[in-house]
Amino acid sequence: MSTLEKWRAQSLGKPAQDKVWTAAARLQAVIATAAMDEVTRNAWCRENGLYAHQLQQWKDSATQSLAAPEEMRASPSQTKADRRRIKELERELRRKESALAEAAALLVLSKKTAAIFQRNAQDQDE
């Protein structure tokens, strides 16, 4: 048996549940099984290596993702409050950054002055 024939036999012999279901394939499965009664849907699931609860999860996920944009949209007053809060946080961040820069400059300056005074003390001792 050639290699290609072996590969073909292996791929055909794989169980259907090892199949990777893309988002489009999931939606198509939900649409195809939507009008089926429970017995027919279960038979379809067995043929395709799925469980009925997986189809239900996919249906719920599709329904939720279609409904989410409307529910997730912020109200104008919420948006205005968010913009105000962002401005306050940016102002506070600028203030803290400048304070940090000032503290860093003072630290460098104090180290330099300490080094200068230490050098002067050594020069006087000699």
Size of the chain, expressed as the number of residues it contains: 126
Domain extent listing, the chain: 1-73, 81-126
pTM of this prediction? Answer: 0.43
CA distances (Å), origin 37, targets 32, 40, 52, 97:
11, 5, 12, 65
- Whether the per-residue pLDDT at 56 is higher than 80: the answer is yes
DSSP 3-state assignment of 75?
Answer: coil
For residue 120, pLDDT over 80 is answered with no
Instruction: Express each pLDDT in 1-20 by its tens digit.
Output: 678 777 777 766 655 545 78
pLDDT averaged over every residue in the chain = 84
Give the mean pLDDT of 60-77.
74
Instruction: Round to whole Å and give the CA distance between 17 and 60.
Output: 20
Q: Which residue's structure tokens are 């791929």?
A: 11
